[in-house]
Structure 1
Amino acid sequence: MIVREATAEDVDAVVALRIESERWLHAAGIRQWTDRERGIRIIRDRIAVGGMYLVIDEDGTAIASLTLSGPDPDFWDSRDEPDSALYLYKLMITERYRGTGLGDELLDWACEQAEARGKRWLRLDCWRDNQGLQRYYLRRGFEHVRTMVVEGRDSGALFQRPATIRTATSRYLSTRNAPC
């Protein structure tokens, strides 16, 4: 498998991952990602400016995506030294690979990208009421920084882990995945 930056030609593949993720969340009783049109707009916009990555399997099928970018100013401010981190958004993995360790490996890959950019932390925000997701990140070396309530936002549980931490035991990703 390889990780590469998504292009305009990949919009449909990323949207398909988003729709699959929405369905999985809703089936699990998690009220998250309910505005599909907004989600598709965000995907298109992010691909246009860069920073969204796609994981492609040996058959050329998109099986995961994630975004690496700067801080969300609604959550991270000067007390956090926002430039000391790379920020992870919208990690999505197709059902076939959920629970296989690919997510752990992608978190390690994101940490490698943070280190390559001279960043100390990999940070993320997740939904305040998604306790399962928060536990997932805690088990993977993230620490809870704080939880914020911002009007109009359901996210706000803030996490970070040192960019030097690696937790994956699986080896799906090719060593050809050069830092971005």
Structure 2
Amino acid sequence: MQIEVLNSQASDINTIFQFYDMAVEHQKKVFNKHWQGFSKALIETEIAEHRQYKILVDDKVACIFAVTFNDKLIWGDRDKDSVYIHRIVTHPNYRGYSFVKEIIKWGKLFAPMNGIKFIRMDTWADNDKLLEYYTSCGFSFAGTVTMEQTEGLPKHYEGISLNLFEIEVNEVAASM
């Protein structure tokens, strides 16, 4: 089995939106909150800025995720020297492949080459299952924040609290 993390291309847009639709369907089944949709312009910008990724398993898209390099509304004064992971979606046929761990491996290689000290992410504060999963993958719980300002963020951030997670990347971790 060959696993690759690659930048998404413009030709992947329909696949990305299919993955988001699958994610919302799954979220509705297993949790009391779900994503509210994303604009095509957002995804096009992420692709153009090389911030939208896909994970291929034997040349098939199995997972997607996006990154950003600033997240001030969520991380406040701690918003620096970080790559923020967002919208991880695994195709149902590939659940159980531990793609979060693959993303962490990718991040530990990406971070030192780009002057980044932290891999960070967030999820709904009342999602205990994801809190447990992300910490089991190596993230440290970094606190909870209640969203007050959400302008510029996707609609599902309005009026919620988030759990924050981070991994500090150092030269030793980067060489693993």
TM-score, with structure 1 as normaliser: 0.78
The count of aligned residue pairs is 161
Q: Which range moves more in the overlay, 38-47 or 84-93? A: 38-47
> Aligned-pair distance for 1:153?
4.5
Distance in 2 of aligned mates of 1:15 and 1:42: 12
Counterpart of 2:17 in structure 1 is 15
Match of 2:147 among 143, 147, 150: 150
Distance in 1 of aligned mates of 2:112 and 2:54: 20
Distance in 1 of aligned mates of 2:131 and 2:111: 21
Distance in 2 of aligned mates of 1:131 and 1:41: 32
SS in 2 for 1:74: helix
1:65-76 matches, within 5 Å, as: 65-76=64-75
User: How large is the RMSD of aligned CA atoms in angstroms?
Assistant: 2.1
> Aligned-pair distance for 1:61?
2.4
Letter in 2 for 1:65: I
Contact 2:5–2:106 at 8 Å: present in 1 too? no
Deviations 1:25-66 (A, max 9, x none): 111134121x23x365533342233311111232x3211111
Change in Cα spacing, 1:155 to 1:47, as seen in structure 2 (3 Å) is farther
Distance in 2 of aligned mates of 1:51 and 1:115: 17
Deviations 1:93-130 (A, max 9, x none): 11111112233122221222122212221111111221
Distance in 1 of aligned mates of 2:168 and 2:32: 28
Counterpart of 2:96 in structure 1 is 99
Contact 1:93–1:103 at 8 Å: present in 2 too? no
> Aligned-pair distance for 1:150?
1.2
SS in 1 for 2:24: helix
Counterpart of 1:134 in structure 2 is 131
Counterpart of 2:43 in structure 1 is 43
Match of 1:111 among 100, 108, 112: 108
Distance in 2 of aligned mates of 1:110 and 1:28: 28
Counterpart of 2:28 in structure 1 is 26
Counterpart of 1:175 in structure 2 is none
5+ long unaligned stretches in structure 1: 167-180
Change in Cα spacing, 1:31 to 1:109, as seen in structure 2 (3 Å) is same
Contact 1:5–1:51 at 8 Å: present in 2 too? yes
TM-score, with structure 2 as normaliser: 0.80
Percent identity between matched residues is 20
Contact 1:125–1:155 at 8 Å: present in 2 too? no
Distance in 2 of aligned mates of 1:40 and 1:130: 27
Counterpart of 2:152 in structure 1 is none
Contact 2:100–2:137 at 8 Å: present in 1 too? no
Q: Which range moves more in the overlay, 148-157 or 104-113? A: 148-157
